[in-house]
Structure 1
Amino acid sequence: MNPLRNPIPWILATLSGVLYFVGFVGFDQWYLAWVSLVPLLLALRGAQAWKQALALSWWMGFVTHLGGYFWVVHLLQSFAHLPLPLAFLGYLLLSIGQGAIFGAVGLLAWGISRRAGLSLGITVAPALVAVELTFPLLFPSYFANSQTWVPLVTQVADLGGVLLVSFVLALANGAIYELVLAALERRRPRPALPATAAVVLAATLVYGTVRIGQIEALDEAAPKLKTAIVQANVGAASKHERAGEGIRRYQRMTEEAMRIPGIGLVVWPESGLNRAVTPQVKNLEGWVARQVSAPMIVGALRAEFEGRRKIWNAALAVDEGGEILASYDKIQLLAFGEYVPGDSIFPQVYDLLPYTSRFERGQSRAPLPVGDYALSTDICYEDILPSFIRSLMGPIDEAGTRPHAMVNITNDSWYGPHEPPIHLALATFRSIEHRRWLIRSTATGISAFVDAAGRPVRTSGFETEELLVHEVPMITGGPTLYGRFGDWPGWFALAACAVGLFRRRRGETAGQQQAQGRGRAEAA
């Protein structure tokens, strides 16, 4: 495994890492994703042991995250107040940890190839999708996210979610690997895999074309809810240091939104109302505006002080008049941002991390009421978790009625200017998976209205004070195939990988028995 003895596999793995992160959202060279795995597969082809396959693949993952997660340095400096050397060390450790996902992908693809006697071009797609389904990450992302701004490719997400788009991409990479390998070996390529990939890609593009037209017609026919997003440009630090000033800015912009003719909803971002809203508070008029003349969804801190102090990161549904109708409390808390793992053992850890909150987990997944509509609401990074959002988008009555749209309230101000567009890009897949519009309100940007085809139709800038207004279609259709069956491509891929690993193992046992029998016959 000494890279100095044979550096070519390591150069190839490095090239894959660079192609992957440059092809990902943020750098937005999406076309590179279609070949980004090919160098790694060429490197793995020469691996003679599982340790070498794991090391090459993990190195590729490390390079990928090193290039894609540079904004973590800013996060650790501004959030944890770490000096630059420690922030850089945290960035390296995160890249090593998250890079392990590609170590798992490469090792699994290599292992199935060796055991089942299959080409790496065939095994890479099921291996990647199976690992994307099961591998835990602090900041989840998917191969498919590279295609965010290529809507003709992403529309199949309503059939099998983001994993199905990842499968199409990985299958194309496997086919290109077969063609490159044939050229290197100076032989005619085996046509089965390239032909299959071509058919799948053509079907994906045709499906995308048809579905975009259907969705646009559906949007046109649906009733509309005129919605205003209040982006007051109040960052996390400002909320703590000048809380009153930030709330007054939200109030001023909200009163401006209330004067818009026909306004049906005003949305504040995550913890925009940076005050404790206790059970005794029944009405927010005077808190969010002098007069609340339209329904609102307000990011706030819901609190209980009886007994042990409890705080929830909440979204409050407010009716015309200011009465609090319902709340959604964040369920998927962000480690080290909203709680610290092991805090029950060492609660003093919060004294060392002054900007780390200690939130309770929410329990209800019910949508929030807005007039005649129900809006599925989530907070911050919950919008990049496909299976979690699917759990929020389930039927809300016996007739199987689904939420009419989705709302995400977020505070991305800790991350600097590079992470917010990536977060938005990852969230757009939820619109496609459920064919609902996404109303996304952020503290400092990027706020957006995303249509049911996953395309942002109106966006804010970053660190700007803006009032975004749009007529949002309230869609009443039933669940998509993904909404009904979930991450089935991942489970099929997992089963295929298990079969691939098991098949050869059985064959090896039979071969060993035959060899033993021949040995006994020769001895006789």
Structure 2
Amino acid sequence: MKWFLACVAAGAASACGFAPLNLWPLTLVGVAFLLWALESAPSLRSALLRGWGFGLGQFVLGLNWIATAFTYQSNMPAWLGWIAVVLLSLYLAVYPAAAAGLAWRWAGGDRLRMVLIFAAAWIVTEYLRAVMFTGFPWNPLGVSLLLTPASLFAALFGTYGLSGLAALIAGGLYLLARRGWKDGGGLAVAVAALVGIAWLATPAPSGEPGPAVRIVQPNVSQDQKHEEGYGPQLLRFRESAVNTTGEPRLLLWPEDGVPFLLDERPSDARMIGSWLGEDDLLLTGGFKIERDSAGRATGARNSAWVIDPAGRLLGRYDKAHLVPYGEYLPMRALLEPIGLSRLVPGTLDTWEGPGPRTLDLPRFGRVGLQICYEIVFSGQVVDRANRPDFIFNPSNDAWFGRWGPPQHFAQARLRALEEGLPVLRSTPTGISGVIDARGRVLASLPWQELGVIDTRLPPPAPPTLFARAGNWMPFVFALLLVIAAAGLAALQSRPKRASERRT
């Protein structure tokens, strides 16, 4: 029990390396402590339990923002939010537990082998966390390295590969703490070489900045937006749309930016178009209602619309990766009678779209769209057959408290790094911003601040290795780590076999 509680505390400390605290050395120290705890585990069961405790501590603290979402749903008590955080964390901790168990089982009592296998297992289990049961890849371990030069590793091996690199760095700390100077020093040299290769192999953005862009953050909270009928938000959008320069601009508004059914009421689309400059285009979040043959509403789409000054709808993207309990209620027939409901207003479940899609914008190039939560799914944000020039991520983080928005923004930066594409975000209450093709923040608006960002569209970089190969790359890295561990085991066993032959 003592080791289990210590691992829970180490997991909580590791969560402090994620946004908004960004104390990234604590993440590495926390993982290093977990490896130390695994070394002394007397059995596989004990190793699994220690890994599970580490994951429990990390997820409960890191995902505390989920509890805030329950305060916006009057049908459910706010305290239920913390129960949801703990229950979700109990499940998510299974993945660190699996990585810990694999490392303990196959280390053969050797510390360096345990580090190598642990890093490979973390890559695989973190990927599984992102795809199992609709997936929840929030706060991957690698995001803790976002503020370091090591972050460029994501351009080669993706976010899950970056998480494996973080595990290796933590493993180096563990080896040095155990006075394994040779193994720890050798691992440090190998990690430095990998970071250097990533720095040399990551393509830089090419070309000049593109057309003018205006990102709008209206700073209207979740409860205000619906109680006041979108009035404050629409007024601020209208004021922000005034074009005083005459230069064509691309205006970007958040998820659920307008309350109108634009395809069903063209007059509303024309009204919004009339606010734009003569050559402007608008990308805004909105909804589309799906109806049956009798005209009855059967479902909804969380969409992003392209609108020109004449009010014409030039394109639409439908969100593909939906949030369970947020945009639809699983097992509705069972849960609704006992008082459970979605965390956002409305009774219609949202239907998923077909997946990543690129839209052509006259005068502004090609845009790939990812609405809100979708941006956290590594390798699933771009139509690789029709690569865009940039990604637009309209979002609504207004119900995610103080910790959710900066964590969301950090993961959008990872997508820019991976794909070599700039990412532009517009949210109602922040964080909105402009991220270049190397994941650097060029401009941003803080949480709960009204404002606009006037900038030019950053240029894309040539496709990165990850952009070409996708999530095969982290598995390649994991395989290389396993091969290294197997080679190390073979070298260690060779003298023993020779002595056996002499005997």
**Equivalent position of 1:215 in the other structure:** 204
**Equivalent position of 1:173 in the other structure:** 170
Q: Taking structure 2 as the reference length, what is the TM-score of the superposition?
A: 0.86
1:483 to 448, 458, 467: 467
**Equivalent position of 1:163 in the other structure:** 160
Q: Taking structure 1 as the reference length, what is the TM-score of the superposition?
A: 0.83
Residue correspondence of structure 1 range 42-441 to structure 2 within 5 A: 42-79=36-73, 82-114=76-108, 119-135=113-129, 136=132, 137-138=135-136, 140-150=138-148, 152-181=149-178, 183=179, 189=180, 191-192=182-183, 194-205=185-196, 207-208=198-199, 210=200, 215=204, 218=206, 221-256=207-242, 258-279=243-264, 281=266, 284-287=269-272, 289-293=274-278, 294-307=280-293, 308-309=296-297, 310-343=299-332, 352-353=341-342, 355=344, 357=346, 358-363=349-354, 365-372=356-363, 373-389=365-381, 392-396=382-386, 402-441=387-426
Deviation at 1:485, TM superposition (A): 0.9
What is the rounded CA distance, in whole Å, between the counterparts of 1:489 and 1:36 in structure 2? 26
Code of the residue aligned with 1:146 in structure 2: it is S
What is the rounded CA distance, in whole Å, between the counterparts of 1:502 and 1:345 in structure 2? 49
Deviation at 1:422, TM superposition (A): 1.1
SS at match of 2:224: helix
- CA pair 82-501 structure 1, distance change in 2 beyond 3 A: farther
Percentage of matched positions with identical amino acids: 24
Deviation at 1:303, TM superposition (A): 1.9
Q: CA RMSD in A?
A: 2.9
- CA pair 502-190 structure 1, distance change in 2 beyond 3 A: closer
Code of the residue aligned with 2:141 in structure 1: it is F
Kindly provide the CA deviation profile for residues 340-391 of structure 1, in whole angstroms up to 9, marking residues without a partner as x: 12237767689844735511111253212221411001100111111211xx
Question: Could you list the runs of 5+ residues in structure 1 that have no partner in the other structure?
Answer: 184-188, 397-401, 504-524
Deviation at 1:103, TM superposition (A): 1.4
Code of the residue aligned with 2:65 in structure 1: it is W
Q: Which moved more, 1:25-34 or 1:402-411?
A: 25-34
Number of aligned residue pairs: 476
Kindly provide the CA deviation profile for residues 428-451 of structure 1, in whole angstroms up to 9, marking residues without a partner as x: 011111111111010111100011
What is the rounded CA distance, in whole Å, between the counterparts of 2:330 and 2:17 in structure 1? 33
- Asked whether the equivalents of residues 226 and 470 of structure 1 are also in contact (C-alpha less than 8 Å), the reply is yes
Question: Could you list the runs of 5+ residues in structure 2 that have no partner in the other structure?
Answer: 488-503
Q: Which moved more, 1:275-284 or 1:244-253?
A: 275-284
2:450 to 434, 454, 465: 465
SS at match of 1:149: coil
- Asked whether the equivalents of residues 369 and 391 of structure 2 are also in contact (C-alpha less than 8 Å), the reply is yes
What is the rounded CA distance, in whole Å, between the counterparts of 1:174 and 1:351 in structure 2? 44
What is the rounded CA distance, in whole Å, between the counterparts of 2:335 and 2:68 in structure 1? 27
- CA pair 295-33 structure 1, distance change in 2 beyond 3 A: same
Code of the residue aligned with 2:281 in structure 1: it is P
SS at match of 1:224: coil
Deviation at 1:47, TM superposition (A): 1.5
- Asked whether the equivalents of residues 147 and 154 of structure 1 are also in contact (C-alpha less than 8 Å), the reply is yes
Deviation at 1:72, TM superposition (A): 2.4
SS at match of 1:284: helix
- CA pair 154-282 structure 1, distance change in 2 beyond 3 A: farther
Deviation at 1:501, TM superposition (A): 12
Code of the residue aligned with 1:215 in structure 2: it is A
- CA pair 364-433 structure 1, distance change in 2 beyond 3 A: closer
What is the rounded CA distance, in whole Å, between the counterparts of 2:53 and 2:335 in structure 1? 34
SS at match of 1:414: coil
What is the rounded CA distance, in whole Å, between the counterparts of 1:431 and 1:352 in structure 2? 34
SS at match of 2:317: strand
Code of the residue aligned with 2:147 in structure 1: it is W
- Asked whether the equivalents of residues 251 and 289 of structure 1 are also in contact (C-alpha less than 8 Å), the reply is no
Deviation at 1:250, TM superposition (A): 4.0
Structure whose alpha-carbon radius of gyration is higher: 1
SS at match of 2:107: helix
SS at match of 2:214: strand
